[in-house]
Amino acid sequence: MATSNSANDINLQNLKVDESTMTKECDPQLASGEAFKLTEDQCAILSFDRFLADRYVAGTCSDPTCKYIDARGDQCDKCGKLINAVDLINPKCQICRNSPQIKKSDHLFLNLPKLSADVRSWFDKSSTHGHWTNTSVTITEAWLSEGLKPRCITRDLKWGTPVPLEGYTDKVFYVWFDAPIGYISITANYTDDWEMWWKQPDQVELFQFMAKDNVPFHSVIFPACLLGTEDNYTCVNHLAGIDYLNYEYAKFSKSRGIGVFGDNAQETGIPSDIWRFYLVSVRPETQ
């Protein structure tokens, strides 16, 4: 057990570099007001006595029309729905392949139902005036018409941005709550005039590009946070959400070695601008 435990620690250490360095400066305002407390079950491995990150839990998607067998703890790659890890059917820890135990823990939730009317009227305006791909509109429309639900934004993990609220300081924020705040804090690290971009929505047009699985975080959850502050933040005007780029008709998979990755691209010696042009020209904009 000791060996696999230290292997986990190495993995978690790597993740820290990937996911939390962007968001050192969290705006506590964004976390206030529209969050409320509930208790949610989270997967935990009893033998390690700690909680598992969402991405380390996988199982069958609980949506009866989907039932994808390899859905992750926070999102299904097939139907795109955000899911709670505890709702996965037959969940497995991706590190040791055991079935995780469920433990109770207090968490903060975004009160999305309270913000849904604001998000709806903002989305109708933004998607009508701006350039939104059909994929972006369809996904957002599905979320809003299904009705927004409270969304858990804290995790019992050691890496990540610590929660600056009494009683929760031993927890960190869920990555898709704090990563978009990084767009703002990166600008603030670059210049004291960051508000020229982020607090002047009438003067600024914000463009964002992403694959479809990231659309709801940028078209619903983050705008809801920004609107919830009632502080005139710039919300996205143009959202280019696209389908997944396939490799020889299959999904890219680093673990299965399917696809061309950064190091392969570099080894070809083809200049990066040509790669960029090629990728932009083949990006799958329609389903």
Given the rule CB under 5 A, which residues bind Zn ion? 45, 61, 63, 66, 68, 76, 78-79, 93, 95-96, 98
Tokens representing 149 are 């639900």
Shortest distance (Å) from residue 280 CB to Zn ion:
29
Q: Pick the closer one to Zn ion by CB: 79 or 265.
A: 79
d(CA 224, CA 77): 23
Least distance to Zn ion, CB of residue 159, Å: 17
Closer by beta carbon to Zn ion, 72 or else 171: 72
**What are the φ/ψ torsions at residue 265 (nearest 5 degrees)?**
-60, -40
Distance of alpha carbon 189 from alpha carbon 12, whole angstroms:
26
Residues constituting the chain: 287
CB of 62 to Zn ion, least distance (A): 8
Question: Which residue, 79 or 82, has its beta carbon nearer to Zn ion?
Answer: 79
Residues 82 and 74: their CA atoms lie apart, in Å, by 6
Least Cβ distance, residue 1 to Zn ion (angstroms): 11
Q: What's the CA dihedral at 221, 80, 152, 186 to 10 degrees?
A: -50
Neighbours of 269 (CB within 10 A): 6
- With respect to Zn ion, which residue has the nearer C-beta, 78 or 103? 78
Residue number, 45 or 85, with CB nearest to Zn ion = 45
H-helix or E-strand containing 136?
helix 134-146
Q: At closest approach, how far in Å is the CB of 67 from Zn ion?
A: 7
Nearest to 244 by CA among 275, 286, 277, 274: 286
